[in-house]
């Protein structure tokens, strides 16, 4: 179903939630538990939750005494290989007390371009949620190249939301909403709703401000356009408010879906 406003998230049946690297790694690594608590709460009332997570590379950085994401592809892929297993283990450990099983799904951009792999990915995700597992999706950084990478997991989350016919996509950030200028600037105002097709003229949208992520507000707005065009409503808020978001609270920025889809 197409949700008309953020309050209807409280009755959504299938929701894709995306969390970024900076929200769950480094100094924020302990936030995985609070994120999982919120997802488990919604899961317990029957919501089909699919989590799209960044963080594999960021999780591996301290293991190799690195302060920031490397520039060369081979090192990035090696870090992803090490960090992905540790990241999934952290999620599973946090979910154990709820007896929820994690299903890991790694995708590349090419998987969405071929009908057979698109269909297989959808079938896997559909079956996982029907089995009451919690699918955790990430880009397959160990094999993706510069030519086929999503570029950021915000776009991946939008593509997954469209693929599985989600009722909504929740994009979690370090900032609680989209503002008309960087929220650190005096006078910045929260944008409560973005109507479908609205161009956001005059809005100053920035990129990532961290040394571990690749997104930022600009990729989230772009991802929201992909999802809403296909009829999936989007809420942008911060990781600390994911429980409120899933309960339909009046928070964040709501991107209205295409009413004709």
Strand 14-19 to 168-173 pairing = parallel
Domains in the chain, start-ordered, CATH in brackets? 6-255 (3.40.1160.10)
In the annotated binding site for ATP, the residues are 18, 173-174
In the annotated binding site for substrate, the residues are 54, 141, 153
How far is residue 93's CA from residue 67's CA, in Å, rounded to a whole number?
Answer: 26
In the annotated binding site, the residues are 18, 54, 141, 153, 173-174
Query: What is the value of pTM for the model shown?
Result: 0.92
How far is residue 247's CA from residue 131's CA, in Å, rounded to a whole number?
Answer: 23
CA 253 to chain centre: 15
Tens of pLDDT, residue by residue, the chain (261 residues): 789 999 999 999 999 999 998 889 888 888 999 999 999 999 999 999 999 999 999 999 999 999 988 888 889 899 999 999 999 999 999 999 999 999 999 998 889 999 999 999 999 999 999 999 999 999 887 777 654 466 568 999 999 999 999 999 999 988 899 998 888 888 889 999 999 989 886 677 654 444 444 446 888 999 999 999 999 999 999 999 999 999 999 999 999 999 998
Q: Using CA of residue 104, residue 92, residue 61, residue 238, what is the dihedral sign?
A: positive
CB atoms within 10 A of CB 130: 9
């Amino acid at each position: 179903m197409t949700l008309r406003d953020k309050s209807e998230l409280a009755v959504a049946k299938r929701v894709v939630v995306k969390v970024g690297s900076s929200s769950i790694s480094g100094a924020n690594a302990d936030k995985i538990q609070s994120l999982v608590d919120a997802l488990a709460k919604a899961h317990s009332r029957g919501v089909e939750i699919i989590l799209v997570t960044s963080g594999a590379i960021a999780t591996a950085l301290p293991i190799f005494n690195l302060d920031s994401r490397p520039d060369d592809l081979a090192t990035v892929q090696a870090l992803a290989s090490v960090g992905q297993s540790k990241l999934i283990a952290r999620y599973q450990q946090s979910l154990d007390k709820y007896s929820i099983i994690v299903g890991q799904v790694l995708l590349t951009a090419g998987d969405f371009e071929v009908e057979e792999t698109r269909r297989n990915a959808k079938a896997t995700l559909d079956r996982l949620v029907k089995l009451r597992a919690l699918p955790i999706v990430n880009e397959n950084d160990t094999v993706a190249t510069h030519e086929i990478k999503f570029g950021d997991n915000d776009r991946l989350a939008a593509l997954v939301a469209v693929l599985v016919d989600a009722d909504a996509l929740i994009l979690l950030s370090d900032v609680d909403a989209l503002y008309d200028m960087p929220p650190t600037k005096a006078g910045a105002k929260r944008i409560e709703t973005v109507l479908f097709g609205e161009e956001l003229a005059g809005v100053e949208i920035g990129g990532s401000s961290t040394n571990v992520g690749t997104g930022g507000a600009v990729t989230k707005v772009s991802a929201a356009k992909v999802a809403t065009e296909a009829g999936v409503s989007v809420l942008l808020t911060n990781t600390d408010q994911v429980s409120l978001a899933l309960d339909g609270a009046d928070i964040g920025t709501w991107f209205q879906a295409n009413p004709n889809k």
